[in-house]
């Protein structure tokens, strides 16, 4: 499966999750950057950089839903997949209402994540087509 070095941004305050996801996604040919907070992401990545965001809900300073809101307010077209260990069922609904294209409960199946990423990039491809 080829991905043409599509960019994935991972924001999770657990370094081991960032590292494991980065290695997994690199084996599928993705270019991956990891961040331990939303603030670190916003200070390092321009709004215009394309890609898909894998975003944990519970983060220091800015939580995942705040990151989502800030991205939406900036006009970002990045697709967002939420990951969380939180068992609160309302988070799923909140995430989708805020514009997430996927939601996974930790621990999750690797293939489920890959499928959501592929879906996100496919949606971006159609979003970019001229009308």
What's the CATH code of the domain at 89?
A: 3.40.50.2300
| Domain count within the chain | 1
Average pLDDT over residues 37-58: 92
pLDDT of residue 5: 67
Residue 1 lies in a domain: no
Distance of alpha carbon 91 from alpha carbon 26, whole angstroms: 28
Entry pTM: 0.88
| 14-to-65, 90, 91 alpha-carbon distances in Å | 17, 22, 19
Question: Residue 125: its pLDDT value, please?
Answer: 59
> Do the domain assignments include residue 27?
yes
Find how far residue 105's CA is from the centre of its chain.
13
* Residue 80 falls inside a structural domain: yes
5 vs 122, more confident: 122
Sign of CA pseudo-dihedral 102, 107, 109, 113: positive
Token representation of residue 120: 């996100």
Residue 123's domain comprises 7-127
Number of neighbours of residue 63 by Cβ within 10 angstroms: 15
Q: So what's the pLDDT on residue 2?
A: 43
């Amino acid at each position: 499966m080829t991905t043409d070095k599509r960019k994935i941004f991972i924001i999770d305050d657990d370094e081991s999750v960032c590292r494991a996801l980065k290695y997994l996604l690199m084996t599928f040919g993705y270019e991956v950057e990891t961040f331990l907070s939303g603030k670190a992401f916003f200070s390092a990545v321009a709004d215009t950089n394309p890609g898909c965001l894998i975003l944990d809900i519970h983060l220091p300073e800015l939580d995942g839903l705040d990151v989502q809101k800030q991205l939406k307010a900036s006009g970002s077209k990045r697709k967002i997949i939420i990951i969380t260990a939180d068992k609160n069922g309302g988070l799923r609904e909140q995430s989708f209402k805020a514009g997430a294209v996927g939601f996974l409960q930790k621990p999750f199946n690797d293939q489920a994540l890959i499928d959501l990423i592929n879906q996100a990039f496919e949606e971006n491809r159609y979003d970019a087509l001229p009308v």
